[in-house]
Amino acid sequence: MLYPLKFKPIYKEKIWGGHKFYTLLHKEECAEIPQCGESWEVSGFDEEPSVVTNGFLAGNTLNELIEVYMGDLVGEKVFHQYGQVFPLLVKFIDAQDDLSVQVHPDDELAQKLGEPNGKTEMWYVIQADRDAKLNIGFNRPLKRDELRQIVAGNRLESVLRYCNVSAGSCCYIPAGKVHAIGRGVLLAEIQQLSDVTYRLYDYNRLDAEGNARELHVEEALEAIDYEDNNNDLIAYRAQKNQTVDLVKSPYFVTRLMDFDKPVEKIYVSMDSFVLYICIDGAAEIRYNGSEKETVSAGETVLVPASIEEAVLVPIGSCRLLEVHMP
């Protein structure tokens, strides 16, 4: 019988990475990684799949389990649409320095280029240093030819829209929107399973060997949605012991739970796996009568679609992101 699954994080050292996975999310393995920029919490990439760490399925990859359990694990609707590919990538990002200004293709453009799908994503800020910012789109409408001239003249920063952020800030980044994470931000990212990124600008930075990082200006100019001018943070109000909607997209649904009392969850109508990303505190997931699994800050757990209901019991107080397929 399937049960809530936990996975071994996949850590990525980045030129812009920092130390907050260790100092704030208590990921002990990151203590010796000097610039740990990403922690892949749930990955369905064939080359780097997540590996289960708990229960009798420990040591198996997520992809192997989908092959065996199919709709019982991900949901019949999800399995019919995506087959043996887990459709999402969940990660934590620690930006000690600014990330490059970039854009991702939508499904149509990605498939023209031989990729299975594009990349729509969302961010939830876990912690932000003073004056930390996110770039979301442009500060005025632009057309492709004008933007090409701005990039060529090294003036891109003058047309970017920056938003000051703090813990709890949230934004939706559909494919085609230019974006960048600013220095001092620790966040959770939920995205389509894709690693196709076009860098438009990288602050004229050089790597350790003195080389400029590769840019993909023409590809980015092709991928940008010039009609999308919704460049604001998501407006929502957290409510204690309520599940609050953050994002409803064609690719994932994300809600916020901030609770200090037990919450009953009924999953029958979802026909989808559910991910719980723990932002703060800890909680027990009680299911099948007396069985339980704990999720703590910095951890992610996957509740299989075959589990029809559960009770989430906070250990003190807890804040979770709840993610499932639409």
**For residues 180, 134, 90 and 207, what is the CA-based torsion angle, rounded to 10 degrees?**
40
Cβ atoms of 19 and 37 within 8 Å: the answer is: no
- The contacts of residue 176 (CB under 8 Å, 6+ apart) are 103, 104, 105, 106, 223, 224, 225, 228
Q: In terms of Cα–Cα distance, which of 259, 253, 238, 255 is closest to 311? A: 259
For 93-118, the three-class secondary structure string (H helix, E strand, C coil) is EEECCCCCEEECCCHHHHHHCCCCCC
Tell me the β-bridge partners of 301: 6, 276
Tell which phi-psi region holds residue 202, choosing left (phi > 0), alpha (psi between -120 and 50) or beta: alpha
- Check 130, 199, 213, 255 and give the catalytic one: 199
Question: Where does 35-87 show beta strands of DSSP type E?
Answer: 36-42
Give the integer Cα–Cα distance in Å for 223 and 226: 9
Say how far apart CA 93 and CA 162 lie, in whole Å: 18
For the chain, state the CA radius of gyration.
Answer: 20
| Spatial CA neighbour of 71 closest among 55, 82, 61, 58 | 82
Give catalytic status of residue 199 as yes or no: yes
Give CA–CA dist 67/80, Å, rounded. 12
Residues annotated catalytic, as ranges: 199
